[in-house]
Amino acid sequence: MSVDAVGEAPPPQSVQPAAPPAPAGPAPAPRGRSLWDDARRRLRRNPAAMISLVVLGVLVAAALFGPAHWVHPVDTLYRDRVAIPPTLENAHWFGTDAQGRDLMARVLFGLGVSLLVGLVATAVALAIGVLWGAVAGYAGGVTDMVMMRVVDVLYTIPFIFFVILLMATFGSNIVLIFVAIGAVEWLTMARIVRGQAMALKRKEFIEAARASGASPLQIITRHIAPNVVGPVIIYATLNVPVVILAESFLSFLGLGVQEPLTSLGQLIATGAREMERAPWLLVIPALVMFATLLCLNFLGDGLRDALDPKDR
Amino acid sequence: MVELVARRLMVAVPTMLAVILAAFFLMRAAPGGPFDAERALPPEILLRVEQAYGLDLPVHQQLFAYLGDLVTGDFGPSLKYKDKSVADIIAEGLPTSLLIGSASIVLALGVGVGLGVWAALRQNRAQDYSVMGVALIGVCVPPLVMGPLLQLLFGVQLHWLPTGGLQRDRYAIQHLILPVVTLALPQIAVISRLMRAAMIDALRSNAIRTARAKGLPEAAVIVRHALPVALLPIVSYLGPAVAGVLTGSFVIERVFQLPGLGSQFVVGALQRDYTLVMGVVILYAALIIALNLAADLLYRVLDPRVRG
Amino acid sequence: MRATLLAVFALTLAACGEIQRGLDPEQKILEIGNAAEPLSLDPAKASGEWENNIVGNMFVGLTTEDERAQIIPGMATHWEISEDGLTWTFFLRDALWSDGRPVTAYDFEFALRRVLDPDTIAEYAAILYPLRNAEAVKAGKLPLSALGVRALDERTLELRLAHPAPYLPGLLKHYTAYPVPKHVVEEWGDAWIHPSHVVVNGPYTLVKWWSNYMVHLRKNPLFYDADAVCLNQLYFYPTADVDAGVRRVEAGELAWLTRFPGQKTELLRERLPGFVRIAPFMLTQFYSFNTTRKPFDDARVRRALSMAIDREFLAEKIYRAGHQPAYQLVPDGMPGYTQGGKLDWAQVPVGRRRAEARALLEQAGFGPQKPFRFSLAHRNSDDNARVAVVVQADWRAIAPWVQPELRGTETQIHYANMRAKNFDVGDGGWIGDYADAQTYLYLLQTSTGPQNWSGYSNPAYDALMGQVNQERDPARRAALMRAAEQMALDDNPIAPIARGTSKTLLDPRITGFSDNIENIHRARWMCVRA
């Protein structure tokens, strides 16, 4: 999932081409198409989701193009203007931080990093989770038992322990934050997909595919994986905010993104320490983070309502 | 049900072993040891210290020694807190963790289920939107912001509540209100959203239609027929909720100066206190396994489809 | 729901009267926000200032400190020094342990041997190496009996030294040199320090120690000067989140916070009138250049980087709270050590220094064709990360081809890397063990080993420091140390950044608290103004 896809088009549209043509199974193709059409129509009728989509588009655009075009570079120190409140003077609209860096530039940059962490970590979680869950659910029996037991075992390792150790072992770098958070979040995804896969594999079109000699791998990649797209999208949208929050927790521990990079979580963790003296350092990044998470949640809810046939 | 418990317990043993192994090796793989500090130890002292804790042995021997002690219930000495054993430290931290953890789960369940049902009954009306809007705020404001804000408002400005800690050496309700509320807020948000969705589903089901058709009073329909079904997703969310409270408690313990295990664990990991971290991880893992089992059992009791 | 809320609210209001008060003038209770959880309260094993804050109220050494942390007689009433300065004889006062047994010279002998016993995990033992054979004993090369400590009788203790150490009385008030009750330690082993067993000779005894939450001390009626002790009870709370600690002071729950964020100085002066105390402290913040690595083995490179740092900006805008820019290693205010060394370019404005730095780096072979890329390793805790960002900008300002990269890590990893010399430039700070210039200058001696982060090795410097150790005349000793400091500064193995301050929030009703350079404040001198 790229950054643009979220900003410019509703995810169902961008996913639509991936919906299965499923030559071996006559049933799912037409049903799938009407499902997606319906979903899109329902999503369009949901004002909260549509507004969120627009706001997210604006935020993503700001994060993509803001840092390069904003008057202040992200790492310039204005030594005579340390920790000044928001002002129009010198175009410090959001004020400056404790080292004299423009907060607007920091927030734009941090927003980009946070979105990137959220998206990449979610993508990692999706890749592992979907594959793991689909294989387990489809294979069943001992394979399923073993694979799900592995998931259970990983569930019992406290998340933060895992991340702290990864950060400590390899040093806190941003790629590792993606992988570490993604590697934890895939567990839920695997469970969801497994459930779907188990339900699907008894369906006629899978039976038909198997009868016509498709290998298990083909069945998983061509029939099962595409059919769990609905729940996966919902989960993914709702997972991005979770990851962004997790990153802020890491920043609070000093294990998140390191200087001179920054993220919304990092800005908020720093701002929380300064809130009595320089409230704007907390309030502004917190509002941006709040708006981002709120929109992602509204969008996720909207998608769930749109894609969930029970709600029809 | 007995069979379920037996099966789970059988799986629990290898699970615990895997957790112990993973934690053990990850901990040793981390750079920096427990004795790296601003003041570097002279080599002769460092050697002695490492010998005293058996850290000079090959890793597999350390592992066997650790497992051997563990079997006899000995978590070993803490590598950083020299006057205390890991068991001492855990025993001093566990009550607070359990207290604030269970209090916030109970609070989150009570308030979350209540709000969710209320919103579902007024679906798509103003009350529904406002409740769900507030719930979203709970999801979107991290505790590291909420905690200090509450302290500042209720402790420093209004002087209504203490800003943290306990009442010197005993527990007191007024000291625990802010931390428990801060810890519960994100869970209230999630639970109320889950509950609302589940309740809306349940109210539309055939069973409810039948019950209504039979002329039962609406309150009875909701409480006796819709609620048990709608609670199922909440029950299966309990596992993640407990895990969330456990990890979330680090920030809470730190901001509100509470002696819980969350901060022991994180500080232990940062200080490379191998034995302390191992002890807490083992305890957490056992706790999570037990709670997952409890949640599954509860699920069976509530869900008529699984009951048979 | 509404009823529940009302009930909770009512309960809250009802309970308000019981809220912790920080300072109780009637009961004489003081509640303290200490920096962290003590790793040990056993004097042999303690290692941090925040432990000293507690342990120093429980035990008294041969010498001890007054309200201003000046050396005064402690368990020893007086002492005699031999001609060669190598044998010190201490005469002990009549005093009791808190269980009523007398404190004897044998307790001291036992305590010092215990610290230097190879089997005792005493991370701080090296501070006692001026005792004869101490290093060899600790390494297990000589038996414990070879240690230069001997009780001549119940009241007389003899210390033999490896070299003259005029700073010995200052060292002996350090917690590693505290006595421990021989009879209790022999009975309980390492568990003797637990509240149920512990026996002390100081003004306060340990009542309760709740891990990660609180240490509770109560006045010891058998302390030799108990009549003069005013405060009855002390509670120490480890306060890892210092901002939360500040809020607890504002809420009136703590009366003494041992540190506060310098960024909040003005705000706190306004909100907590009379609470803010800032005083010079014997802390030097400095960056080490890894001289074992190219190109930092080149003195020109080190000099250039050190010159380019804008220390005034760092002190005034980042550290704040009275921090002073540092152009020296030894902080001001060390007794008998004035007019120490100074970086020769200290008076040159930063702009000109940067130009010179550029020229030096060009001489060293760097330029647009050969950019100077290196990393700055720093601790990722508060001020350290802020400072690193500024220093990085300072270095970039030398020339576009100077390209430093930041590597922030958690403290434990940072020091592991520093010890393994796995860094280019690394941050670190140093707080002397006692007020003597030598505890700073020894950092750069070759024999210091891992603690000499920069790997600086200069035979001339080592020779000078060797002379310092043998010199008994204070004036000549100071002159030698001054020459050594200047020699090291001229070579730039380190770049001093700032001279630290102690930053304390203290309820103004507390008396008997005097700011001092060691930042040691014993509760036995404190009282509450009526």
Contact A53, A299 (CB under 8 A): yes
Q: What region, left, alpha or beta, does residue A277 occupy, with left being phi > 0 and alpha being psi -120 to 50 degrees?
A: alpha
Whether the CB of C235 is below 8 Å from some CB of chain B: the reply is yes
**Beta-strand relationship, C256-257 and C29-34:** parallel
The residue count for chain A: 312
Contact B222, B158 (CB under 8 A): no
Which residues are within 8 A (CB) of C127 and not within 5 positions of it... i.e. 6 or more apart? C171, C174, C176, C433
**CB contact (8 A) between residue C263 and residue A79:** no
Chain-centre distance for alpha carbon B66: 26
Which helix (H) or strand (E) segment is C374 a member of?
strand C372-379
CA distance C20 to B165: 9
Most confident of A82-96, A198-212, B140-154, C155-169: C155-169
End-to-end CA distance of chain C: 46
Q: Which of C263, C382, C389 sits opposite A277 (nearest CB)?
A: C263
- Around Cβ C363, how many Cβ atoms within 10 Å? 12
CA distance C342 to C497: 12
Write out pLDDT tens, residues B21-52: 888 887 787 777 777 766 677 777 788 778 88
CA distance C426 to A193: 48
**CB contact (8 A) between residue A275 and residue B251:** no
- When the pLDDT of each residue in chain A is averaged and rounded to a whole number, the result is 75
Q: Which chains touch C (3 or more CB pairs under 8 A)?
A: A, B
Residue B209, SS3? helix
Widest Cα–Cα separation across chain C: 83
Q: Which value does ipTM take for this structure?
A: 0.85
Q: Which residue has the higher pLDDT, A233 or A5?
A: A233
Pick the residue of B145, B277, B291 with the most A CBs within 10 A to test the interface with A by mutation.
Answer: B145
Bridge partners (DSSP) of residue C501 are C280
Please give, one letter per residue, the 3-state secondary structure of C383-419: HHHHHHHHHHHHHHCCCCCEEEEEEEECHHHHHHHHH
| pLDDT of A23 | 37
Record the tokens describing residue C273, joined without a space: 């009138």
Record the tokens describing residue A88, joined without a space: 């129009």
CA distance C103 to C93: 9
The residue count for chain C: 530
| pLDDT of B278 | 86
CA distance A299 to A182: 21
CA distance B90 to A165: 21
Q: Which of C42, C125, C247 sits opposite B83 (nearest CB)?
A: C42
- The rounded percent of chain B whose pLDDT value lies above 90 is 1
Write out pLDDT tens, residues A221-271: 777 766 777 777 777 877 888 888 888 888 877 777 777 788 888 898 888
Cβ-Cβ contacts under 8 Å, C211 against chain B: 81, 84, 88-89, 92-93, 259, 264
**CB contact (8 A) between residue C317 and residue A75:** no
Cβ-Cβ contacts under 8 Å, C393 against chain A: 75-77
Record the tokens describing residue B283, joined without a space: 């305890």
Record the tokens describing residue C330, joined without a space: 């030894």
pLDDT per residue as tens, chain C (530 positions): 444 544 454 444 444 444 567 888 888 999 999 988 888 899 998 878 888 999 999 999 999 999 999 999 999 999 999 998 899 999 999 999 999 999 999 999 999 999 999 888 887 888 898 999 998 998 889 999 999 999 999 999 999 999 888 889 989 999 999 999 999 999 998 889 999 999 999 999 999 999 888 999 999 999 999 999 999 999 999 888 888 899 889 888 899 999 998 888 988 999 999 999 999 999 999 999 999 988 999 999 999 999 999 999 999 888 888 888 999 999 988 888 888 888 888 889 988 999 999 999 999 889 899 999 998 998 877 788 889 989 999 999 898 999 998 888 777 778 878 887 888 999 988 888 888 888 899 889 888 777 888 989 999 999 999 898 888 888 899 999 999 999 999 999 999 999 989 999 999 999 999 999 899 999 999 999 86
| pLDDT of C485 | 92
**CB contact (8 A) between residue B144 and residue A248:** yes
Contact C75, C180 (CB under 8 A): no
Residue B24, SS3? helix
Q: Which of A158, A265, A276 sits opposite B247 (nearest CB)?
A: A158
Answer whether residue A9 shows pLDDT above 60: no
Q: Which of A161, A276, A293 sits opposite B281 (nearest CB)?
A: A161
Residue C281, SS3? strand
Whether the CB of C153 is below 8 Å from some CB of chain A: the reply is no
* Of residues C359, C268, C262, the one with CA closest to residue C316: C262
Q: Is A43 exposed, middle or buried (0-12, 13-18, 19+ CB in 10 A)?
A: buried
**CB contact (8 A) between residue B136 and residue A153:** no
Q: Which of C208, C237, C412 sits opposite B32 (nearest CB)?
A: C412
Which residues in A7-41 are b (16+ Cβ under 10 Å) and which e?
Answer: beebbbebbbeebbebebbeebeeebeebbeebbe
Q: What DSSP designation does C327 have?
A: S
Distance from CA of B129 to the nearest CA of A (A): 11
CA C528 vs CA C55, C205, C272: distances in Å: 22, 20, 18
Residue C426, SS3? strand
Whether the CB of C442 is below 8 Å from some CB of chain A: the reply is no
Confidence of residue B306 (pLDDT cuts 50, 70, 90): low
Which residues are within 8 A (CB) of B27 and not within 5 positions of it... i.e. 6 or more apart? A165, B269, B272, B274, B277, B278
Distance from CA of A168 to the nearest CA of B (A): 6
Which helix (H) or strand (E) segment is B228 a member of?
helix B227-230
CA A179 vs CA A4, A161, B203: distances in Å: 21, 15, 41
**CB contact (8 A) between residue A254 and residue C406:** no
Write out pLDDT tens, residues C49-107: 888 999 999 999 999 999 999 999 999 999 999 998 899 999 999 999 999 999 999 99
Record the tokens describing residue C305, joined without a space: 């980087």
- DSSP states along C25-84: TTTTEEEEEESS--S--STTT--SHHHHHHHTTT---SEEE-TT--EEESSEEEEEE-TT
Distance from CA of B37 to the nearest CA of C (A): 6
Distance from CA of C337 to the nearest CA of B (A): 24
Whether the CB of B185 is below 8 Å from some CB of chain A: the reply is no
Record the tokens describing residue A132, joined without a space: 């793991």
Record the tokens describing residue B137, joined without a space: 């705020």
Chain-centre distance for alpha carbon C182: 28
- Around Cβ A59, how many Cβ atoms within 10 Å? 22
Q: What DSSP designation does C442 have?
A: G
Record the tokens describing residue B241, joined without a space: 């909720």
Cβ-Cβ contacts under 8 Å, A265 against chain B: 142
CA distance C56 to A210: 78
| pLDDT of C94 | 93
Record the tokens describing residue C151, joined without a space: 């009780």
Whether the CB of C7 is below 8 Å from some CB of chain B: the reply is no
Residue corresponding to tokens 């009570």? B110
| pLDDT of C32 | 94
Q: Which of C264, C408, C410 sits opposite A168 (nearest CB)?
A: C410
Whether the CB of C393 is below 8 Å from some CB of chain A: the reply is yes
CA B30 vs CA A165, A180, B272: distances in Å: 6, 15, 8
Q: Which of C126, C208, C213 sits opposite B42 (nearest CB)?
A: C126
Record the tokens describing residue C502, joined without a space: 């102690």
Which residues are within 8 A (CB) of A144 and not within 5 positions of it... i.e. 6 or more apart? A136, A137, A194
Answer whether residue A2 shows pLDDT above 50: no
Record the tokens describing residue B287, joined without a space: 């706790």
**CB contact (8 A) between residue C406 and residue A259:** yes
Entry pTM: 0.85
* Of residues C321, C268, C329, C284, the one with CA closest to residue C517: C284
> Residue B191: how many CA atoms within 13 Å on its side-chain side?
30
| pLDDT mean over B88-116 | 88
Answer whether residue B308 shows pLDDT above 60: no
Distance from CA of C218 to the nearest CA of B (A): 14
Cβ-Cβ contacts under 8 Å, B48 against chain C: 118-119, 121, 138, 140
Q: Which chains touch A (3 or more CB pairs under 8 A)?
A: B, C
Whether the CB of A22 is below 8 Å from some CB of chain B: the reply is no
Bridge partners (DSSP) of residue C81 are C88
Residue corresponding to tokens 């931390």? B179
- State the sign of the Cα–Cα–Cα–Cα dihedral A197, A202, A208, A213: positive
CA distance A83 to B218: 60
Whether the CB of A23 is below 8 Å from some CB of chain C: the reply is no
What Rg do the C-alpha atoms of chain C give, in angstroms? 25
CA distance C155 to B175: 50
Contact C86, C9 (CB under 8 A): no
Strands of C149-153's sheet, edge to edge?
C76-81, C87-92, C156-160, C149-153
Which residues are within 8 A (CB) of C171 and not within 5 positions of it... i.e. 6 or more apart? C127, C128, C130, C165, C177, C433, C434
Cβ-Cβ contacts under 8 Å, B182 against chain C: none
Contact A44, A38 (CB under 8 A): no
| pLDDT of A253 | 76
CA distance A156 to A141: 23
Most confident of A111-115, A159-163, A189-193, C5-9: A111-115
CA distance C33 to C213: 10
Q: Which of B19, B31, B145 sits opposite A156 (nearest CB)?
A: B19
Write out pLDDT tens, residues B183-228: 888 888 888 888 888 888 788 777 778 887 887 787 787 787 788 7
